[in-house]
Chains A and B, each alone.
Chain A
């Protein structure tokens, strides 16, 4: 993208001349029609439904087209507790989505297991298997919080580069777009986390 002075550009806009770039146009188009995958896991899904309904109306941000097929979806909203039995299916759905694809981890459970994290059956965060773009804390988060996360995601999409070393992951052939699906083991999921995706900060304590 050839850099153009912001002041000059807005001056030209006032005169009715629009100067844009491929990258800007491309990101503008993508960020205003994010189609989420239509699925819910627990009570967070109720808030997600409320966000899609008329009062909060996610259509204002171009995200009202909930697709019942991963092949047509851009965004996966992981809304609710991910049980260990459900985790492979979530990863498989993510793998089936076409690039570019984004993930919002909605609520305490999807982030870390939340109130159920010491349970034997609960995955301690979906980011153990797939990369997450936006995390929303809350139990459950209010619809406004989901809208805020949606806007954060739009901002993220808007800042993605099409070329160069900083280009978006879906344009980088070295970046994987699919991740291994965990299998059911004798005591836990195998592997319990994908080390390529899940890199928790090391806690140093004595």
Chain B
């Protein structure tokens, strides 16, 4: 299979206006992915599926990722004139990065037996703008998986034929795989709690009844 840079260049040439970034993954897995702009996502996916050299015709997996709001501290060395002498001074700037949700698709080729080509799409934010174009029209197998992303992460897929919850019940309003999800508190009976469960069970602990010393006297008499 050709390199990700080649795929990116050819896809951008084939789809007018498409903007693709390569997201590196410097872990042991070393699986970099293509970040596709939402507007041209369907066209790029169609290119990946239909291009004779690539033919990644099989969407093996689609999942979501939740990225919370975060602040990035950057330390830059700035030359400043202090007391008439030029010095290198560390200047720290805090930058707020708004959170977003991501959908990740793992694509393989059944024809050429190669892959995966990993593509990602990002939403604008985690609230109102949590929308992405659906790739169900390109990959039929993405239908249930996009429903699952909608169910657990709350990403709305535009153009999805049947966007309903798939695992949780319809009346459920939360998105349980989001990092800021808090599950209902039903930790009233925990005989052997530890770690996170211990912290939650402590909310339900009742303190021991106050002893007035009378039971000691009873114990001595027996």
Contact = CB atoms under 8 A, between A and B. Distances in A.
B173 A200 contact: no
A184 interface: yes
Contact of B171 (A118, A184, A192, A202): A184
Contacts of A188: 184, 186
A193 B171 contact: no
B170 to A, nearest CB: 7
Contact of B169 (A184, A201, A202, A203): A184
B18 to A, nearest CB: 38
Interface residues of A, number: 21
Interface stretch (B27-35, B56-64, B187-195): B187-195
Contacts of A84: 169
Contacts of A206: 205, 207-208
Contact of A121 (B167, B201, B208): B167
A189 B46 CA distance: 42
A85 interface: yes
Chain A binding surface SS class = loop
A121 B207 contact: no
Contact of A205 (B171, B183, B186, B205): B205
A172 to B, nearest CB: 27
> Among A124, A185, A187, A201, which residue has the most Cβ atoms of chain B within 10 A?
A187
A203 B171 contact: no
Given A120-B181, A202-B206, A205-B205, A187 B188 contact: no
Contacts of B181: 120
Interface string A178-206: 00000011111000110000001111111
A188 B182 CA distance: 11
Given A184-B169, A185-B171, A120 B190 contact: no
A118 B196 contact: yes
Contact of B168 (A85, A118, A124): A85
B174 interface: yes
A120 B188 CA distance: 16
A110 B98 CA distance: 42
B176 interface: yes
B183 A120 contact: yes
A203 B176 contact: no
Interface of A: 84-85, 117-118, 120-121, 124, 184-188, 192-193, 200-206
